[in-house]
Amino acid sequence: MLKTRQILGCSSGLVSHRWKPYSSTGSRQVSFISISTCSKPLLLSSSSSSSSTIIPTTTTLLLPGSSPRRTRFGAFSMSSAHSGPNPGGPSSSVAVHSAGNARKINFCQWCGGPTKHEIPDGEEKIRAICTVCDKIAYENPKMVVGCLIEHDNMVLLCKRKIQPSYGLWTLPAGYMEIGESATEGAIRETWEEACAEVEVLSSFAQLDIPLIGQTYVIFLARLKKPHFSPGPESSECRLFALDDIPFDSLAFSSMVVTLKLYAEDVRAGKLKFHYGIINKKPGTSPSDIHAYTLDYHLQS
Amino acid sequence: MLKTRQILGCSSGLVSHRWKPYSSTGSRQVSFISISTCSKPLLLSSSSSSSSTIIPTTTTLLLPGSSPRRTRFGAFSMSSAHSGPNPGGPSSSVAVHSAGNARKINFCQWCGGPTKHEIPDGEEKIRAICTVCDKIAYENPKMVVGCLIEHDNMVLLCKRKIQPSYGLWTLPAGYMEIGESATEGAIRETWEEACAEVEVLSSFAQLDIPLIGQTYVIFLARLKKPHFSPGPESSECRLFALDDIPFDSLAFSSMVVTLKLYAEDVRAGKLKFHYGIINKKPGTSPSDIHAYTLDYHLQS
């Protein structure tokens, strides 16, 4: 999966002008932030709540116990005080409009000029803008790609030998790289973490985690050869029957969701494609990977 | 969709250590780049070709007529000499291993220190590494999210009033932002470009375009009210019956693929979820949006 430390929970694109303004209010249809009219504020609504909160755009959303400055990736860690990357779980704090992250960008990557943090013309979010060359540093969510490998009615899990979530179980997965497709990235990660050659069979899930700027894309796959062994980041790789999946020892909420959906599908006799949004339950511990809601769940 | 100029065709994540090395060779199983053994070089294979080419890692891949330095987003434009962003089509040139992009990052975003361009310990790709604070600037693909809106057996298209692809037709779509989910982004983009309030019904397609570091995520949606009108970036919005979709006047290859798959599904009486990789046919013009192959097509 990932080796050590990641500073931002999102990727930053570097662009010299990009977004038009957008206007929005909330709709109960969408569980987190959605858009239904032309008015300016964003409306935060929860599928599990009847109340909604209007949040001015470019405002940082704080969950209980969070800090607007805690945009370092370590703040998103879910199991103990890990400072490493966390492709998996809800966060205790995040700047919903990325203002917090944009403010951490102090210099232009191209010319080295100092940045200012303002809302560019025609936009609604604070961005880091170079005061010398005027380029804007944009940030976008990252994709984490992985494989759910079926073999003899079991699934292959890897025990993490690195932080975060050292000693906990995960599907092989990691950040998609430039120049590869999602399937290629998932196959690569599976090779790296489980030394397993796999064939991707179908798409299984897309799980967005807006709080940490990640989208998980998980594919169903099969072993091309019945061989696997721990890669450098895994201490153990093992096949688990559905009833034996260690749900209390999984590394990330995304893995809990994926494996629960898979088990349900298998037991129902039909594998589907799932889309959903993983939101952290307010007020819960970042280390509690079961303290989430799966919102906007769509099945194909 | 997108307003003006984008410098990089990918997002850059800013990370201080991240990737472990990976080793790879090609497998005909995967149409573009895939992994099957521990040897180091990447193997580029095409589903439409019987030959394969071994590419040393960290090497820039050049297609005919391309330049290793043409990593500016304008180089990826598909219709005429647009310099703006291009969420849609194959590219005439791209650094497969992002070396070209990494080399354009000259300064650290945090401390302003100059960068060096080297392969970090434990990795295999050239990255921009700060010579002062040692942080590494990572780059990752971007997600473009949009809606395929069904209404009275027709689909809603927008005629672009901006470059690239001025005057051509597209589904409402644009870059996913930090703090939003893919559905929320798709709903937002639809509001911005077509002033239409939509409800997302299901996932329809994930289309990776590795050459330009983009992944399209398209949702089926319906109008919540039968109202739409051009937003600031559209000159016209119109519903098209399947037989009337202007396939010769679409803005991007991703739209050609999406609408073809949708028309096929409708005619077959069953809508599916599609995954695929859009690869540019070697030697074809970047402006020819029909000069692609859809590889690794999976249907759920």
B183 assigned to some structural domain: yes
- Amino acid at the residue B285: S
Whether residues B152 and B135 fall in one domain: no
Kindly determine whether residue B8 and residue A15, on different chains, have CB atoms separated by under 8 Å.
Answer: yes
Kindly determine whether residue B273 and residue A300, on different chains, have CB atoms separated by under 8 Å.
Answer: yes
Task: State the smallest CA–CA distance between residue B157 and chain A in angstroms.
Answer: 19
Whether residues B284 and B235 fall in one domain: yes
Tell whether B278 is within 8 A of chain A (Cβ): no
B208 assigned to some structural domain: yes
Whether residues B182 and B276 fall in one domain: yes
Contacts of B182 in chain A (CB under 8 A): 206, 208, 215, 275
Q: What percent of chain A has a predicted confidence (pLDDT) above 70?
A: 66
Whether residues B149 and B130 fall in one domain: no
The domain that holds B183 is classified in CATH as 3.90.79.10
Tell whether A247 is within 8 A of chain B (Cβ): no
Among chain B residues, the shortest Cα distance to A35 is held by B188
Dump pLDDT digits (tens) for B168-216.
Answer: 999 999 999 999 999 999 999 999 999 999 999 999 999 999 999 999 9
More confident residue, B251 or A33: B251
Instruction: Please name the member of B143, B195, B233 whose beta carbon is closest to the beta carbon of A215.
Output: B143
Rounded to whole angstroms, the Cα distance separating A252 from A244 reads 17
B89 assigned to some structural domain: no
Instruction: Give the pLDDT score at B3.
Output: 42
Kindly determine whether residue A122 and residue B3, on different chains, have CB atoms separated by under 8 Å.
Answer: yes
Confidence of residue A22 (pLDDT cuts 50, 70, 90): very low
Tell whether B8 is within 8 A of chain A (Cβ): yes
- Residue A42 CA from chain centroid, whole number: 22
Instruction: Give the pLDDT score at A118.
Output: 94
Tell whether A199 is within 8 A of chain B (Cβ): yes
Instruction: Give the pLDDT score at B121.
Output: 87
Dump pLDDT digits (tens) for A62-91.
Answer: 223 333 222 222 223 232 222 233 343 333
The residue among B84, B115, B140 that closes a domain is B140
* Average pLDDT value for chain A: 74
Whether residues B240 and B101 fall in one domain: no
Q: Which residues contact A25 (CB under 8 A, 6 or more apart)?
A: A35, A36, A37, A39, A41, A42, A43, A54
Instruction: Give the pLDDT score at B269.
Output: 98
Question: Token pair for residue B217?
Answer: 């995520």
Q: What is the mean pLDDT of residues A41-53?
A: 31
Q: What is the mean pLDDT of residues A124-129?
A: 89
Task: State the smallest CA–CA distance between residue A210 and chain B in angstroms.
Answer: 5
B1 assigned to some structural domain: no
Confidence of residue A96 (pLDDT cuts 50, 70, 90): very low
Whether residues B55 and B120 fall in one domain: yes
Dump pLDDT digits (tens) for A230-255.
Answer: 999 999 999 999 999 999 999 999 99
Dump pLDDT digits (tens) for A159-202.
Answer: 999 999 999 999 999 999 999 999 999 999 999 999 999 999 99
Nearest Cα to Cα of residue A170 among A296, A43, A256: A256
Dump pLDDT digits (tens) for A276-296.
Answer: 999 999 999 888 999 999 999
Q: Per the structure, how many domains does chain B have?
A: 2
A168 assigned to some structural domain: yes
Whether residues B178 and B31 fall in one domain: no
Dump pLDDT digits (tens) for B12-63.
Answer: 333 322 323 233 333 322 222 222 222 322 323 333 333 333 222 222 222 2
A70 phi/psi in degrees, rounded to 5: -85, 60
- Amino acid at the residue B174: G
Contacts of A2 in chain B (CB under 8 A): 18-19
B238 assigned to some structural domain: yes
Q: Give residue A161's domain range.
A: 142-299
Rounded to whole angstroms, the Cα distance separating A169 from A189 reads 15
Contacts of B178 in chain A (CB under 8 A): 10, 95-98, 101, 139-141, 210, 213
Contacts of B125 in chain A (CB under 8 A): 177
* Average pLDDT value for chain B: 74
Whether residues B147 and B266 fall in one domain: yes
Kindly determine whether residue B139 and residue A10, on different chains, have CB atoms separated by under 8 Å.
Answer: no
